[in-house]
Amino acid sequence: MSIKKLMAKKLYFGTDGIRAQVGSPPMSADFILKLGWAIGKVLSKNGKNKILIGKDTRISGYMLESALEAGLSSAGVDTYLVGPMPTPAIAYLTRTFAADAGIVISASHNPFYDNGIKIFSKTGDKLTDKQEIAIEKQIADKFISVSSDELGRAYRIDDAAGRYIEYCKNTSGLKTDLKQYKIVVDCANGATYHIAPKVFAELGAEVIAICDQPDGFNINKNCGATNTSFLAQQVLKNKADFGIALDGDGDRLMMVDEAGEQVAGDVLLYLITKYQMSKSKITGIVGTLMSNLSFELAIKKLGLKFLRANVGDRYVLELLKKNNWFIGGESSGHLINLHLNTTGDGIVAALQVIKYLQKNNLTLNQAKQEITLFPQIMQNIKINNNNATELLQNKKVQKIIQEQQDFLKNDGRVLIRPSGTEPLIRVMAEGKNMADVKNSVDKICNTIQQEMKDT
Among 144, 136, 124, 176, CA closest to 321: 124
- Alpha helix positions (H), 278-345: 293-301, 313-323
Cβ-contact 312, 320 below 8 angstroms: no
Cα gap 281→352, rounded to integer Å: 16
Cα gap 172→350, rounded to integer Å: 10
Cβ-contact 87, 343 below 8 angstroms: yes
Count of beta carbons in the 10 Å neighbourhood of residue 280: 10
Count of beta carbons in the 10 Å neighbourhood of residue 90: 33
DSSP string of 36-75? Answer: HHHHHHHH--SSS-EEEEEE-S-TTHHHHHHHHHHHHHHT
| Strands annotated E in 48-91 | 50-55, 78-84
Sign of the CA dihedral with 190 first, then 104, 325, and 166 last: positive
DSSP code for 106: -
Cβ-contact 82, 91 below 8 angstroms: no
CA dihedral 229, 289, 318, 245 (to 10 degrees): 0
Cα gap 113→272, rounded to integer Å: 34
Cβ-contact 42, 8 below 8 angstroms: no
SS3 (DSSP) at 375: coil
Task: Classify strands 18-21 and 114-121 as parallel, antiparallel or unpaired.
Answer: antiparallel
Helices 129-140 + 29-43 axis angle, to 10: 120
Instruction: Out of 108, 291, 331, 440, pick the active-site residue.
Output: 108
Half-sphere exposure of 18 (CA within 13 A, CB side): 24
| Residue 24 annotated to the active site | no
Cβ-contact 348, 341 below 8 angstroms: yes
Can you name the residues that pair with 406 across neighbouring β-strands? none
SS3 (DSSP) at 298: helix
Helices 346-360 + 87-96 axis angle, to 10: 100
DSSP string of 158-183? Answer: TTHHHHHHHHHHHHT-TT---TT-EE
Which residues participate in catalysis according to the annotation? 108
